[in-house]
Amino acid sequence: MTTAARISADPGAALDLLAGRRLVALTGAGLSTDSGIPDYRGPGSRPRNPMTYSEFVSGPAAQRRYWARSHVGWARMRRAGPNPGHVALAALEAAGVVEGLITQNVDGLHGAAGHRAVIDLHGRIDEVVCLDCRQVTRRADLQERMTELNPGFTEAHSAEVETAPDGDAAVEITDGYRVAPCAGCGGVLKPHVVFFGENVPRDRVARCFAAVGALTPDDGALLVAGSSLTVMSGLRFVRAARKAGVPVVIVNRGVTRGDELADLRVDAGCSETLGALAARPL
């Protein structure tokens, strides 16, 4: 039987519960909002309809729409830098407190902050994979190729266009956009991220379960930061921790799907709460 988490707006409540414990962190889009990247479901977020895997592979029209929008979104997203929340988690890792980090984000900001032990659950937006030969290449290289094929496209469509956490920009007119094929085999390129409707690679999931499974009720805890846990992709790790009797602390503005599985939810910003954790030895 589960009970709803205790809710507190005080970051100090997390300090008290996590003191002396080894942590695995699970992060979501809410952690990156202070870097200027909007989230999917936080307070005030607009409804979004990300492209699904089945839609992307349906043919050239969907692929043209995705890459045209991503062309504009990537130009913005690549300029985002780590915020105090990312820096705090990297500092907690360096101090030996955070022993593993699972991120649902694709922005690569944990690595940019200096975090080493990162499992990119949903992949990375700065990489591209060919659906035919499976070669993985840099997104920055593809951006240069697409800019050559579509001169002036970013400048013509970037004004006041909103960008999603996956780099998708709300560009409405994409007719005529020229999509670059794989430079190696001429195949279809896809961002190296897990689309909705696509499965996370099994080995990656196994690594996440292993990290959570290494925690014990006596000296471990799962720290969730900036995730509503709406999708099972992240919620399953919270369920695993709860089943093992490992304390779960969620830092998120607004209710989450994991509230009934957690010991505490801190209803406050990730930057301030994680900064407080890093400032006081745990």
Q: Is 208 annotated as a binding residue?
A: no
Q: Which residue has the tokens 């002396």?
A: 20
Q: Is 82 annotated as a binding residue?
A: no
Strand order in the sheet with 248-251: 6-8, 264-266, 248-251, 220-225, 22-27, 98-103, 118-120
Residues acting as catalytic residues: 122
Q: Is 70 annotated as a binding residue?
A: no
Q: How many CA atoms lie within 13 A of 104 on its CB side?
A: 25
Q: Is 6 annotated as a binding residue?
A: no
Q: Is 123 annotated as a binding residue?
A: no
Q: Is 252 annotated as a binding residue?
A: yes
Q: What is the CA radius of gyration of the chain?
A: 19
Q: Is 107 annotated as a binding residue?
A: yes
* Cα pseudo-dihedral 203, 209, 214, 217, rounded to 10: 180
100-136 exposure pattern, b = at least 16 Cβ within 10 A, e = fewer? bbbbbbbbbbbbebebeebbbbbbbbbbbbbeeeeee
How far apart, in whole angstroms, are the C-alpha atoms of residue 100 and residue 118?
Answer: 7
Q: Is 143 annotated as a binding residue?
A: no
Q: Are 32 and 226 in contact (CB under 8 A)?
A: yes
DSSP H or E segment with residue 148:
helix 139-149
Q: Is 33 annotated as a binding residue?
A: yes
Burial bucket for residue 8 (CB in 10 Å: 0-12, 13-18, 19+)? middle
Q: Is 45 annotated as a binding residue?
A: yes
Q: Is 253 annotated as a binding residue?
A: yes
Q: Is 32 annotated as a binding residue?
A: yes
Q: Is 219 annotated as a binding residue?
A: no
Annotated binding-site residue numbers for Zn(2+): 130, 133, 182, 185
Annotated binding-site residue numbers: 28-48, 104-107, 130, 133, 182, 185, 226-228, 252-254, 270
Annotated binding-site residue numbers for NAD(+): 28-48, 104-107, 226-228, 252-254, 270
